[in-house]
Amino acid sequence: MIGIKEVQIIQWFVQPEARVEQFDKLCEVQSDKASIEITSKFDGVIKKLHYDQDDMAQVGKPLCDIDVLSEITPEDEAAVGSTAEQAGDPSSPQQPQKAAEQHQSELQDQKPPKANPKLEASGKHSSLATPAVRGLLKDLKIDITEVTGTGKDGRVLKEDVQHHAAASHKPSEPSSSPSPRISRKSTTPQTETSIALTPIQSQMFKTMTRSLSIPHFLYADELDITALSRLRQTLNTKTPDRKLSYLPFIVKAVALALQKHRLLNSRIDDQTDPARPRLIMRPQINIGVAMDTPQG
Which 8-state DSSP code applies to residue 61?
S
Q: What is the distance between the alpha carbons of residues 167 and 47, in angstroms, rounded to a whole number?
A: 39
Judged by DSSP in three states, 212 sits in coil
pLDDT in tens, 140-189: 888 888 888 887 767 788 888 888 888 877 554 554 555 556 556 667 88
Q: What is the distance between the alpha carbons of residues 165 and 187, in angstroms, rounded to a whole number?
A: 26
Q: Which residues of the chain have pLDDT under 50?
A: 1-2, 84, 86-126, 172, 175
Identify whether the C-beta of residue 79 lies closer than 8 Å to the C-beta of residue 42. no
State the Cα angle at 216 between 273 and 214, rounded to 5°: 35
Residues 6+ apart with CB under 8 A from 53: 9, 10, 11, 12
66 DSSP β-pair partners: 46
Beta strands 278-280 and 64-68 are unpaired
Taking Cα atoms as reference points, which of 12, 13, 9 lies closest to residue 54?
9
Identify whether the C-beta of residue 268 lies closer than 8 Å to the C-beta of residue 281. no
φ/ψ of residue 230, rounded to 5: -65, -40
Identify whether the C-beta of residue 107 lies closer than 8 Å to the C-beta of residue 79. no
Q: What is the distance between the alpha carbons of residues 209 and 232, in angstroms, rounded to a whole number?
A: 36
Beta strands 278-280 and 267-269 are antiparallel
Q: How far is CA 276 from the centre of its chain?
A: 43
Global pTM value: 0.38
Per-residue model confidence (pLDDT) at position 258: 93
36 DSSP β-pair partners: 29
Per-residue model confidence (pLDDT) at position 36: 85
